[in-house]
Structure 1
Amino acid sequence: MATAELEQRWIDKFQENLGIIRKVAGWTTQELADELGVARQTVSNLETGKSPMTKMQYLALRTVFNTEIASRENRDLAKVIKTLVDDPIEQMIDDSERTIPSTKGNGDEAAVGRATASGSDDAAKAPGLVSQAGRKPRSKRSLSMTMQMLAVITGALASGTAAGLITYLMFPGEKR
């Protein structure tokens, strides 16, 4: 799976759970909007799915929530984000790295995927799939680490004038 596709799934999963995450942080829609420097309607549209979340918005939101976690030691918020967003995406990455479907589409993919997941030797013999055992796997940690590093970097920059500039760049059409 391409990195851009995985990043988009991460963003989509975060957007899907944005309302829950905001509530666990203890914020109203208006309070989150104020933290981001955008209109309340922008946050509402992201939460309801009326507007698709961009990568920059994702990074801004992760930064705001990471700051909340760090400054208030809000472990519940960290746990909710990990459980609802990070863990499911990392599980999907794990699942996709176990086997690679062939282009033949012979219908055996589901059975072989189950065999591979259970550690069965039959997976290596199954037609239509290539085992990942002989290859150096693309690390799920590298993508996860990249997304986390981007959030940390933006968090470090999100102070004073940098926060205003970042918000302006991420939400250019918003009135302030």
Structure 2
Amino acid sequence: MDKQRCTWCGNDPLYMEYHDTEWGVPVYDDEKLFEFLILETFQAGLSWITVLRKRENFRKAFDNFNYKKIANYDEAKFEELLQNAGIIRNKLKIKATISNAIAFMEVQKEFGSFSTYIWKFTNHKPIKNKWENLNGVPATTELSDIVSKDLKKRGFKFVGSTVIYAHMQATGMINDHVKDCFRYHEV
């Protein structure tokens, strides 16, 4: 029997795999949180499947999402990224990735880890919503507005409320699997 899933992943095998194994699973690892933040940044204005299909290209292009290396990218590396057809070649998003790596490390210095900082917004535990279907799932919430505003104040770019809500869903800060999805109770 087929598993009941959130309908947003459709029948695309890559999307289904992502839904079944990653989306909504609580992430406390700084490296993984940074990866999702970067991918969500590039997703702004595009579909998530577009980014997901290019994820490995992003991984190679951005030194396995190593924020310490990314923070030190120079103009030559920036130009190299702009020429990389395997990623989304948006000047502002590439620049934001570099400045976000710097801001990310500043947050780590202040809070000990980015994880400690970001999870404080949910009292260090996932928020479990109870959506009957995707129609009820918002694109933003008051909480994503607060987190977005705080990140912007700390120098992060491309972290609007919609991007941050998607980040919170992806990293399990918010469980937005619909109630009849098999992952709802698993995460």
Flag whether TM exceeds 0.5 (same fold): no
Kindly indicate which of the two structures has a greater share of residues assigned to helix: 1
Name the TM-score, length of structure 1 as normaliser: 0.27
Structure with the bigger RCO (C-alpha within 8 Å, sep 6+) is: 2
